[in-house]
Amino acid sequence: MEYANHLNEYAPAPSEAQAAEEVARMKTAAVRNENSDVYKLCYSAIDLTTLSCSDSVRSVTAFAEKAVEFYDKFPHIPNVASICIYPSFVETVGVAVDGTPMRITSVAGGFPAAQTFLEVKALEVAMAIENGADEVDIVLNAGRMLTGEYDEAANEVEVIRAEMDEEIVLKVIIESGVLKTPDLIRKASLLSMFAGADFIKTSTGKTDVSATPEAAVVMCHAIKDFYEKTGRKVGFKAAGGVRTPQDAVLYYTIVEEILGKEWCTPELFRIGASSAANNLISAIEGREVKFF
């Protein structure tokens, strides 16, 4: 399908200066949200992530079992939204979380570079879902975006989306730190949504620049404009470099200010993180906690 022509139906991206000015305003506004209730919401929005070359069935099982143990250890805190792993560990996590509400997120589609055959990407996604993934995080082809091959990039997402049933959540990573400019970040966000993304996500966490508040502002405005034109709500996920409670609260505030409170739920707001989990628990409990 031709998607690039639809970009003209939307306003241009903000300038870098405008995005920076808005982030400064968000940082001031975020102070009001540095409280236990927002920390709990941010914790419940985490896709608890392990994406290491040293991952193994043993380590991933222990990781998932620890997340399940959280239900009993901290019953007053809503647990994380999902566990995010490589596709070969989907079944491993499924065994560990069986009988709990915990969702399973699999990266797939040639993660993290998306530089493989489309047929391979689609098959990997299909296999992750067959093994039990509830949600799939794929990467928009940044190389195609940088060379202006917008339809080709979006069509890859469309093909992968077609491999999924409607209830599977598709998050598309635009790798904002590679695209760099507000214009490309906005285009990538819109193209991903045109092609069927349920969430747009900042980054893989595998590049020099990961999530930034400036990219989040641009992406959230794209989500708002898309919703106003289509009536379809798309979620936002910040990932890569989100470590402190203040980091999490800033992204929460950006979502709240641009998209509204209705987006401030795990159904439409996620944080891809590992180290942030302990830090948020500590902020909630008022003492240092090293649970994970």
pLDDT tens for 176-202 read 999 999 999 999 999 999 999 999 999
Rounded to an integer, what distance in angstroms lies between the CA atom of residue 68 and that of residue 49? Answer: 14
Token pair, residue 211, equals 């999530």
| Domain 4-285 in this protein, CATH class | alpha beta
Selected catalytic residue, list 40, 171, 187, 237 = 237
- Digit-coded pLDDT (tens) for 3-49: 999 999 999 999 999 999 999 999 999 999 999 999 999 999 999 99
Catalytic residue among 121, 187, 201, 247: 201
Supply the pLDDT for residue 275. Answer: 87
CA 2 – CA 20 distance, rounded (Å): 32
Residue 15 CB neighbours (<10 A): 12
> Phi and psi at residue 231, in whole multiples of 5°?
80, 5
Over residues 204-219, mean pLDDT: 96
Q: What is the pLDDT of residues 129-176, one digit of tens each?
A: 999 999 999 999 999 999 999 999 999 999 999 989 999 999 999 999
180 a catalytic residue: no
Q: How confident is the prediction for the chain on average, in pLDDT?
A: 97
Residue 187 bears catalytic tag:
no
Q: Of the listed 40, 47, 121, 137, which one is catalytic?
A: 137
Whether 237 is catalytic: yes
Residue ranges of the domains in the chain? Answer: 4-285
**Where in the chain does DSSP place strands (E)?**
46-49, 82-85, 103-107, 135-139, 169-173, 199-201, 235-239, 269-273
**Alpha helix positions (H), 112-231:** 118-130, 142-146, 150-161, 176-179, 182-194, 213-230
Q: Based on the number of CB atoms within 10 Å of its own CB, is 5 exposed (0-12), middle (13-18) or buried (19 or more)?
A: exposed
Q: The tokens 């890569």 sit on which residue?
A: 240
